[in-house]
Structure 1
Amino acid sequence: MSTSYDVLYGAFFKMIEKDLDFFTYSNVSSEEAMEIAKNRAKGYLVEAITALKINCSTELALELDDENETIGDVLTPIEINLLASLMREKYFERDFSLLKAFQLQFSPKDLQVFSPANERKTFMDMFESIKKENRVLMGNYSSRDRFTGKLKTIDYSMYHNE
């Protein structure tokens, strides 16, 4: 059993559907535009899986099968949402990097003309909020059974010498 990339892409696309730049490409059909969007999303998926593996203890292998476009695990709705949310963070992280590079290129006076401080601050606050939300989601995910949602507990009796 496995989970299709399309399931994860769909969840991710719903999170960023208001960002028309992600889905709009010049001189391509809607089918080609969707293929470009999926190719971009695949990069975010790989980064999201890496982040999940680094930050969470999980029983999942999260092995990608590019030939069949599936992940080798049956993911729960919570895991799908978590990966999509991490994909969203990776997506905005690229814009954050561009914003930082843009700030270094121009003087504060230039930035007032091209990118008002309020817009930069709003974006940076939103990005930090997404990162914080994802840390909470990963912490909650790590502390719960993936199928039942019940908190994991430690059986201390096995460490007690009698």
Structure 2
Amino acid sequence: MSTSYNVLYDSFFALIEKDIDFFLYNNVSNEEAMQIAKNRAKGYLVEAITKFKISCSSDLTLNLDDENEELSDTLTTTEINLLSSLMREKYFERDFSLLKAFQLQFSPKDLQVFSPANERKTFMDMFESIKKENRVLMDNYSSRDRLTGRLKTIDYSKYQNE
């Protein structure tokens, strides 16, 4: 019982399909380009799993089996969507870091010419929105049974003195 990396990659790729730069590589075949995209996605997957394990209470082990390119657990659709959303966050986090570095290289006057403040603000707002959405997804996931989707409850009768 496991989940193929490709299931997660496909879900992640669907989230960023409009970003042509992620899939466009010079002087390589389509197969080589897809392999490069998958290698990049693997890095985001590792980071997403780390964030998931830190932020969510779950009985999943999420061990990576690189030889068979699969996770040790059979993931639900909800978990696939959550991990791919976290992968997307990690993807944009790299651009956010580049944006910060870019801001340090140029004076405010240069930035007005090369990178309008509105575009930077729009990107930063989008990134913050993705992070907030993922926090909500993780909170909702942690409060529900992973297989049934039912809210977890506490049976207080177990704790009453007889």
TM over 0.5: yes
What residue identity is the alignment partner of 2:76?
T
Corresponding residue for residue 133 of structure 1: 133
For residues 77 and 139 of structure 1, what CA distance do their matches in structure 2 show?
Answer: 16
Alpha-carbon distance, 1:113 to partner: 1.0
What residue identity is the alignment partner of 2:158?
M
Alignment of 1:1-162 (within 5 A): 1-162=1-162
- Measured on the aligned residues, the alpha-carbon RMSD in Å equals 0.6
Gaps of 5+ in 2: none
For residues 81 and 125 of structure 1, what CA distance do their matches in structure 2 show?
Answer: 22
Alpha-carbon distance, 1:145 to partner: 0.7
Deviation by residue 1:22-45 (Cα, 9 ceiling, x = unmatched):
000111111000000000000000
Q: Percent identity?
A: 82
Alpha-carbon distance, 1:73 to partner: 0.5
For residues 45 and 157 of structure 2, what CA distance do their matches in structure 1 show?
Answer: 40
Aligned length: 162
TM score, norm. by length of structure 2: 0.98
TM score, norm. by length of structure 1: 0.98
